Amino acid sequence: MSDNRSDAPLREDIRQLGGLLGSTIHEQAGEGVYETVEEIRGLAKEARAGDAEAGRALEARLGQLPDELIIPVVRAFSQFLNLANIAEQHHRVRRSRAWVRDPETGPLRGSLEEFFNRMLDGVEPAALHETVSQLDIELVLTAHPTEVMRRSLLQKYNRIAELLGQGDRLDPTPEEIEEVHQSLKREITAAWQTDEIRRRRPDPQDEARWGLAVIEQTLWDVIPHYLRRLDRILQRRTGEPLSLDAAPIHFGSWMGGDRDGNPRVTAEVTREVCLLNRWKAVELYEREINQLIEELSLQCASAALRDWVGNAWEPYRAALKQVRDRLHATRAWIDARLAGRRPSDAPIYWRTAELAEPLMICYRSLQQSGGGVVAEGRLKDLLRRLSVFGLTLMRVDIRQESTRHTEVLDAITQALGIGSYSAWDEAERQRFLIRELDNRRPLIPRDFAGDEAVAEVLDTFSVIAEMGADSLGAYVISMASKPSDILAVKLLQKEAGVKTPLRVVPLFETLDDLNGAQSCLEALLAIPWYRAHIAGEQEIMIGYSDSAKDASHLTATWALYQTQEQLVQTARRHDIQLTLFHGRGGSIGRGGGPTHAAILSQPPGSAAGRLRVTEQGEMIQAKFGLPGIAERNLELYTTAVAEATLAPPAPPEDEWRAVMDELAERSCRDYRAMVRETPAFIDYFRHATPEHEISHLAIGSRPARRKPTIGVESLRAIPWIFSWTQTRLLLPAWLGAGSALAEGLAGGRESQLRHMYQAWPFFRAFIDMLEMVLAKSDPAVAAWYDLRLVPDELRGLGETLRERLAETRTSVLGVSGHDNPLDEAPVVQRSVGVRNPYVDPLNLLQVELLDRVRNGHEEDLREALMICINGIAAGMRNTG
């Protein structure tokens, strides 16, 4: 089947949704607005096709729009881009299933079927079964401020995707076709009448509720369905099923626990979020138990079940009603805690195993009493959910900056009169920490009272002791660089009386910290106390965002690769099981990109059956908002980690390493020369992008800056990338890389670079990601911003950056050998092409709005500007 034929349903979906949106605009906003939108759309398409006169006419038409027409025009183009995204997501699901009906097309790369077919050519079935069954993949949902769309709209868009699926049914009747059409019209009309803009900045509890909504609305049902598929294919291809308690993929969260740079996340917030997670889990389990009570009217039961419930007429219902009553008591207990009341003393569920026990008794009884086929239905699904979600759905990580722990210990040591902890060198700190870790007496006096910041950190450790390991995951230390940073958290957990201490995870982010990660791990493992207390396991987090902002995307990518290699080697040498935690974002500049290729391009041994990775902001909705998409992403994670474990890539050749060292050095030098050492750069950035205006979007609880300074170093990586994405320059993803590659090509390395691209998955993934960036970028659009928004004396800097973007394009295509970016990904290439005529007017309107807002019309047009920012984000498919 050709690409054109296979994409015909997508084109039809976009045509239908676009037509329905047009009729909605005509009905809801009037003929004048509709005709204006159509005129602008026509000019944008002609301009994209190369008609310069149409381009000038488009700019003039948008510049003349009266204020009252700006918002409906912006909304029209934004809505279309969101509808196009829905159609594309649905088409991805359609394509993943197409091979079942047409086996000649073959299963998609990375699907369970394709993976098992390929692996069993060289891997023994028993080894394949063992690897898949023992996978430990944790997806950690984070609430970074990149999700620009309101949940109210997301729910409507999800409904539209469901309706597109209904339209795919074989042989629908005319009445069914018309019903789907009318339902689509209703949803699009409702979306048009829904406010796109959040009027209130969310608090951390709101963010936590959004994460829970993803679990409830999608993953709660997708997980058992996916594990059934995995179970069937394991049974069919290896002869052994997936064990009932297997949880190859499970979920964590930073929502309500990530306090690094976010003063709104307090100890009380963390306590509340942990209770909210438990409350929602109990509610979902109650719902399932009630359905099982309706279903399991069977009377045949095992002796074990009879011993538990006595001579009940319907033993399963009797058992499950006891479970329901205890779940109800648990929810009442949580309600009381959330309301600040004293809970009752009724028995509640504290641990997952307590809920699993009666369910397993029922399951075994059915298997032993002739009801095995019934046991394999809803009850088995519930047991699988329990293995994956536990009693908290997602365990919350705590994240805090290392300096906050230093401040606490300094306050304590000074209060005790034993010196200043912050003034001690590393050796003295370690001696003190290890001595106190071994000491059974408390370190902190009962009457100790630190300042507000110190008290907040100590309160957080009290919450850890209160909530326990069932509710909490890891304790992540940002800006970690030395063993005392990790030992300090160990000591503070001990002092708080934490019974089951959280694992302590250092996060290495900047280039210097990445380069020092191995020596830090070596020093840690050389401490006998530490080795004795980690039970042979160590987790380390590596950050993509700050390293790229610090040193360039190319330099950071190579540093991350080398750091992983070094950490894996160190762990093997010390016989330690290492888990790498990847702090990836949605955009290319923050480690984003196709999941499967990204995992398989990592160094050998870095994903040996275990992986943690963040799913940030809008990527949560993009990957897990629709059931079909969610299941596809679950299988991509499963197959990629399994393949990286069973058939890791070969290590790179020494010559390749030498080339990458040269490229990284040149890239870092050129990037920093521009971003840090060019005096006018910050001023240009502020004028040429909507960075200041983005700070007014109510899209996250965290502030845009860590510290109140004006340099790029204090700006969070997300708004830094978001701003450049809006102007279509996408500078953080390519700056430095183009000049480094150009130097390599000019220096006679063309054949070597091309060989690296063909033979080394890591380098190929990097170049392919640059091609994605180049396909989305547009120097002509960026020039619009300069022409209207940048002072004359700064415009030369913009011209220089666009010249460097052109150089990057030439260099990247020189390495890949392609004529155009994404020549090997025609579906994505066409996707970008379809969007451009709809994003272009939004960019031009954003320039117009920024100019007007910055010249006195701020209050009148701010709403239109916010909608425009949302629309461009939808068109670019990511923000930060």
Question: Is the CB of residue 434 less than 8 Å from the CB of residue 445?
Answer: no
Annotated catalytic residue within 90, 91, 144, 405 = 144
Strand 537-543 to 503-508 pairing: parallel
Question: Is the CB of residue 613 less than 8 Å from the CB of residue 560?
Answer: no
Question: Is the CB of residue 119 less than 8 Å from the CB of residue 128?
Answer: yes
Q: Which residues are within 8 A (CB) of 852 and not within 5 positions of it... i.e. 6 or more apart?
A: 861
Distance, in Å, from the CA atom of 506 to the CA atom of 521, rounded to the nearest integer, reads: 9
String of DSSP letters for 203-257: PHHHHHHHHHHHIIIIIHHHHHHHHHHHHHHHHHHHS----TT--SEEEEE-TTT
Q: Sign of dihedral through CA atoms 428, 431, 437, 442?
A: negative
For Cα atoms 213, 470, 642, give the angle at the middle one, nearest 5 degrees: 75
Residue keyed to tokens 């299963």: 107
Cα-based torsion angle of the residue sequence 709, 713, 717, 721 in order, rounded to the nearest 10 degrees: 90
Strand 472-478 to 577-583 pairing: unpaired
Annotated catalytic residue within 549, 553, 623, 776 = 549
Question: What are the tokens at 774?
Answer: 């180049």
List, in sequence order, the alpha helices (H) in 647-749.
654-675, 681-688, 691-694, 717-726, 731-734, 737-746
Q: Could you tell me the end-to-end alpha-carbon distance of the chain, in angstroms, rounded to an integer?
A: 36
Distance, in Å, from the CA atom of 268 to the CA atom of 266, rounded to the nearest integer, reads: 5
User: Where does residue 271 rank: exposed (0-12), middle (13-18), buried (19+ CB within 10 A)?
Assistant: buried
Q: Quick check: helix, strand or coil at residue 202?
A: coil
Q: Which backbone phi and psi does 504 adopt, to 5 degrees? A: -105, 125
Residue 45 is among the residues annotated as catalytic for this protein? no
Q: Which residues are within 8 A (CB) of 872 and not within 5 positions of it... i.e. 6 or more apart?
A: 725, 726, 839, 842, 843, 846
Residue 185 is among the residues annotated as catalytic for this protein? no
Active-site positions read: 144, 549
